Structure 1
Amino acid sequence: MAGRKPMGKSGPEEPGNGERRATIREVAAAANVSIGTVSRVVLGNVPVSSELSERVLAAAQSLGYRPKGKGIVAAKSPAVRLVGLFVTDLSNLLYGQVVSAVEERLAQLGYTLVVANTQNDERREQELLTLLSEGVLTGAIMSIGTERQPRLKQALRKAKVPSVILDREPPEGVDSVLVDHREGALGACRYLISLGHKRIAMITADRIVRPGVERIAGFAQAHREAGLPFDEELIRAGCITADAACAETRQLLQSATRPTAIMTLGSQALTGTLRGIDILGLSIPKDVSVFCFGDTDTARIVRPPMTCVQWDRRELGRQAVDILIGRMEGKTDSPPRSIVLPTEIILRQSCAPPFQP
């Protein structure tokens, strides 16, 4: 009869012909094991008993289960141990040393790194998290775009393999490695105030991510300590591109009560801040002092070189890997923890007392 499929051998059909793909959850249910156990058997990243392995493989074969990006499950097939590193913007100079340190450490331990650029896209981040829940990755280190996405937090908690949050406020039950941005901003602002600056502007990341929140808190604390008014108009958040930072810098410095010092991010925002100052024909530090967050190549090679707050970005990556490996290989079953790395101030030539006409 036209339109009717011929009868034949039953069972899951190959993906791509309109039939749905069997899921890791269905394999786990059929084998009466956890999703994590299925992931470990498929990827071979953690040893399991032969009885469990045979049960999972039999269920996977009967359902025609194919992990995304992998072939048919085979008991003796060698497994590549993949770890994901999800960052918001690979063009951000501050990520370079982190990625390098993570890759080097993982390679030493026999893991392969997969790097993904999310561009602060919640949908993209959720898609990447499915790689964890479906067992394609053995673990992940993540710098998520925003901490106020309930669906993202829920997906992260549901992931059945270990993960570590990088310099973001972690959801409950997830490990993290953070930077003490509050103390860094506090020290930077105290230094500028000690030089005599009373109107200090800040160009920073979004107010809804931890680095921005913590820097603004440190900035406000320094003003309170010095008895200076805290002017919200001097805080320009969300400036993660050079163009945005340039526009905000020009607006700040063309105001009737312009700031005498600017604290800015050390990557694209620093480039934009410097461009804005140059367009207005102003000089650093004679007309305006500049203090940046992050000791990037740009901060070091511009003239004058930038005074900055720095932190050990390679250590940030290494600490994240060590926590993740401990979880993946079952070396630690301690409660989730947060490691906070310190910051330090490097004094160069971009800051001076405010100009006295």
Structure 2
Amino acid sequence: MYCKYRMKPTINDIARIAGVSKKTVSRVINDSPLLTGETRDKVKAVIEQLGYVPNPQARALALGHNFLIGLVHDNPNAQMILNMQQGILEGLRGTEFAMVVQPVNRSSPSLVEDMREFIVRQRLYGIVILPPISENDAVAKMCVEAGCRYVRMGSAVLDESKHMVASNDRDAVKEAVRYLIQQGHKRIAIVTGPQGFRSATERLAGFEDAMTEAGMKLPRSHRAEGEYTFDSGLVATEQLLDLSPRPTAIFASNDEMAAAVLYAARLRGIAVPDELSIVGFDDTPIASRIWPPLTTVRWPIVAMGRSAAHKLIAGAVEEIDLEDEPTEFLSNLIRRGSVAPPKP
């Protein structure tokens, strides 16, 4: 047996020393189930002794795919995308997989075919699909037809557990609005997310659930639509602050728009939280860095990204068990300084 090779060891060296064929070595490297435990252990011992590292390009050619996980999005919330990338990269750490990111246009009539081309061109092992693209069943069907593993992210469960990571947006927002009501607020307004986003629908539903539970109604005038961006949040807030009497509390459907609510209030000389309470959604870094610090719903997006990656590569990485990966992730309210009881 050889202890060390001067030149980089090859698959031929592994086969010769282990006394097996190149095909058997290849099956061990690619985790084929067509081998006995004894043969697998013998070949792995030689691989470890020689310090052999498989050529990823050769493996990709043999398996018919690259060791790439795609992330597809069309979302104006840049921080959400960054957090999702962080989670996926954490899930892939220590494996041979890498990530490639692809923005798409959800309004394009060629969306499904564009995504199919991306999968085929990159020879993807699997794909993580962010909302609102993930809410399109035709996209999931296309992934199955293309033979590409997929996981959808959403604000509600839309698919089988192995294909889904979801958050409880409706219940989380209900908890947040309950908190405002418990503080004594009766004129509560909402800056919603954009139409076409399931998250916007779920968060509005949670808001209305809490109001109904308390015997309160949401007047149409107390609802303004945003686009999950700071600028759209400003426009929506101006609309709400022009009301007479104006709201004593505003729930914004993400932190970016909540920051815009705070900014608009400051421009008008409205004290937060003494004259206006604000609650956001996401718990992005900005939430704890503005003043007053923002009360917000913590969205476990990094954990969702990590689990999505694990669900995709569970069949290729022995240490990861698909059964250990949850489908629903719970958001919770983080109470900071932007909420106070309304003045009499």
**Pairwise same-fold verdict (TM > 0.5):** yes
- Quote how far apart the aligned CAs of 1:234 are: 2.1
The correspondence for 1:309, drawn from 297, 314, 324, is 297
Q: How does 1:38-49 map to 2 (within 5 A)?
A: none
Which residue identity lines up with residue 145 of structure 1 in the other structure?
P
Q: How does 1:200-215 map to 2 (within 5 A)?
A: 200-215=188-203
The correspondence for 2:152, drawn from 165, 168, 176, is 165
Q: Write the deviation string for residues 67-98 of structure 1: whole angstroms up to 9, x where unpaired.
A: xxxx9999679974111011333752133232
Cross-structure match for 2:241: 253
Cross-structure match for 1:10: none
The correspondence for 1:98, drawn from 79, 84, 95, is 84
Instruction: Identify if the C-alpha distance between structure 1 residues 168 and 199 changes in structure 2 by more than 3 Å, giving closer, same or farther.
Output: same
Gaps of 5+ in 2: 1-25, 35-56
Whether the aligned pair in 1 keeps the contact of 2:183 and 2:341 (CA below 8 Å) is yes
Instruction: Identify if the C-alpha distance between structure 1 residues 195 and 222 changes in structure 2 by more than 3 Å, giving closer, same or farther.
Output: same
- Quote how far apart the aligned CAs of 1:268 are: 2.7
Which residue identity lines up with residue 343 of structure 2 in the other structure?
F
How far apart, CA to CA, are the structure 2 residues paired with 1:45 and 1:215? 44
Matched, 1:236 2:220: no
**Identity within the alignment, %:** 25
How far apart, CA to CA, are the structure 2 residues paired with 1:316 and 1:223? 29
**Larger displacement relative to structure 2 (266-275 or 125-134):** 125-134
The correspondence for 2:101, drawn from 115, 118, 134, is 115
Cross-structure match for 1:190: 178
Matched, 1:286 2:274: yes
Matched, 1:221 2:213: no
Instruction: Identify if the C-alpha distance between structure 1 residues 133 and 98 changes in structure 2 by more than 3 Å, giving closer, same or farther.
Output: same
Which residue identity lines up with residue 315 of structure 1 in the other structure?
A
How far apart, CA to CA, are the structure 2 residues paired with 1:106 and 1:74? 17
**Larger displacement relative to structure 2 (108-117 or 147-156):** 147-156
How far apart, CA to CA, are the structure 2 residues paired with 1:352 and 1:205? 24
Instruction: Identify if the C-alpha distance between structure 1 residues 157 and 217 changes in structure 2 by more than 3 Å, giving closer, same or farther.
Output: farther
- Quote how far apart the aligned CAs of 1:275 are: 2.4
- Quote how far apart the aligned CAs of 1:256 are: 1.7
Matched, 1:84 2:40: no
How far apart, CA to CA, are the structure 1 residues paired with 2:331 and 2:98? 30
Matched, 1:339 2:327: yes
Cross-structure match for 2:52: none
Instruction: Identify if the C-alpha distance between structure 1 residues 128 and 340 changes in structure 2 by more than 3 Å, giving closer, same or farther.
Output: same
Whether the aligned pair in 1 keeps the contact of 2:68 and 2:125 (CA below 8 Å) is yes
Query: Paired residues, what number?
Result: 291
Q: Write the deviation string for residues 165-188 of structure 1: whole angstroms up to 9, x where unpaired.
A: 012556655711011111110100
Matched, 1:145 2:132: yes
Instruction: Identify if the C-alpha distance between structure 1 residues 91 and 180 changes in structure 2 by more than 3 Å, giving closer, same or farther.
Output: closer
Which residue identity lines up with residue 95 of structure 1 in the other structure?
I
TM (norm. structure 2) is 0.73
- Quote how far apart the aligned CAs of 1:340 are: 0.8
How far apart, CA to CA, are the structure 1 residues paired with 2:260 and 2:219? 22
The alignment's C-alpha RMSD in Å is 3.4
How far apart, CA to CA, are the structure 1 residues paired with 2:236 and 2:284? 21
Instruction: Identify if the C-alpha distance between structure 1 residues 333 and 323 changes in structure 2 by more than 3 Å, giving closer, same or farther.
Output: closer
Cross-structure match for 2:169: 181
- Quote how far apart the aligned CAs of 1:191 are: 0.3
- Quote how far apart the aligned CAs of 1:151 are: 4.4
SS of the residue corresponding to residue 286 of structure 1 reads coil
Whether the aligned pair in 1 keeps the contact of 2:280 and 2:294 (CA below 8 Å) is yes
SS of the residue corresponding to residue 327 of structure 2 reads strand
How far apart, CA to CA, are the structure 2 residues paired with 1:176 and 1:76? 29
Gaps of 5+ in 1: 1-40, 50-70
- Quote how far apart the aligned CAs of 1:154 are: 4.1
**Larger displacement relative to structure 2 (87-96 or 344-353):** 87-96
- Quote how far apart the aligned CAs of 1:230 are: 2.7
How far apart, CA to CA, are the structure 1 residues paired with 2:294 and 2:61? 57
Cross-structure match for 1:274: 262
- Quote how far apart the aligned CAs of 1:329 are: 6.5
- Quote how far apart the aligned CAs of 1:272 are: 2.2
**Larger displacement relative to structure 2 (261-270 or 290-299):** 261-270
Matched, 1:132 2:119: yes
Instruction: Identify if the C-alpha distance between structure 1 residues 105 and 148 changes in structure 2 by more than 3 Å, giving closer, same or farther.
Output: closer
TM (norm. structure 1) is 0.71
SS of the residue corresponding to residue 108 of structure 1 reads coil
How far apart, CA to CA, are the structure 2 residues paired with 1:47 and 1:235? 56
